[in-house]
Amino acid sequence: MSTVGYLNGTFVDPERALIPIDERGHQFGDGVYEVLRVYSGRPFLPEWHFERLRRSLRAIGIENPHTDDEWMQLMNEGIRRSGEPESLVYLQVTRGIAPRGHLFPAAKPSVSMTIRAFQPAEPNPSASLLCLPDERWANVWIKTLNLLPNVIAKEIAHRAGANEALLVRSGWVTEGSSSNAWFVRDGVLWTAPANRYILGGVTRRFVLHLAQTLGLEVREQAIAVDDLGTVDEVFMTGTTTEIEPIACVKVDAAMRQALHELPADAEEVIVRAVERPVTVWEGPAPGPVTARLQDAFAQEIRRFRTFA
């Protein structure tokens, strides 16, 4: 298994690549990224990823350093060098290298990329979520490098024995720390709308397409955290997890109020111990609707592989 790196025009050993101290991605998180899944040597849904990359770059005022064709050529060369037909491509674009200052510099954007072998995790029939306050900024739709709130939420969930955090903003479920959330109620799919408060996942978009082909009714509306007990199925979607069925959703009893209104004490927000998690939903994993979508997703990937 070989990991390939790329930095500003040159393929490099990732262990030896050097990032200058004045790199704005390093100092400010001033950049955006994309992660693409590679099946049988082919990136999956690259056009959708490039579209989101363009939107993110435009939103923070960074010029796109490559055309879509150039991005494809760069990725394909990296995949070829890696020799890993089942892998993940990580693309990152930052504002560049310049002496530290808050104003945008006249700098050339920096581009980095890695290709790493990827082996999906075995399905977990008891996967669980822990509801936590969504403490991210108000422009979550931009896929920026600023992921500290996501990292903290994921760590808190992990310490509580959950697979993922389920983020809640003012009483409404937004998404996971690194995935989009879906709910099934009376055969209808519910998922939060692709507004500024969620990162519209490429897999989320693909599942919406699959749901349409299956004739499933979809409501792009947020679910209230207090209504979680009324849903029949829960699953999460993401590039690395595809469609992940969930068996249990829990709420930290000590943080219930924070799901509706963030506590004033900053220490309570940033560093907390999970106390007495209470189960608010349990169900089949996967449920029948989730299983139909999983089957449809798998069929599409098999079809995609045949053209590799």
Task: For the chain, state the CA radius of gyration.
Answer: 20
Q: In terms of C-beta density within 10 A (0-12 exposed, 13-18 middle, 19 or more buried), how is residue 245 classed? A: buried
Residue 236 class from Cβ within 10 Å (0-12 exposed, 13-18 middle, 19+ buried)? buried
CA atoms within 13 A on the CB side of 95: 24
Structural contact between residues 38 and 44, judged by C-beta atoms closer than 8 angstroms:
yes
CB 33 within 8 A of CB 90: yes
Distance of CA 92 to the CA centre of its chain: 15
The dihedral sign for the CA sequence 204, 38, 164, 14? negative
**Whole-angstrom distance, CA of residue 248 vs CA of residue 175:** 16
| 108, 143, 154, 250: the active-site residue | 143
Active site residue 250: no
Whether 292 and 233 have beta carbons less than 8 Å apart is answered as no
The catalytic site residues sit at 143
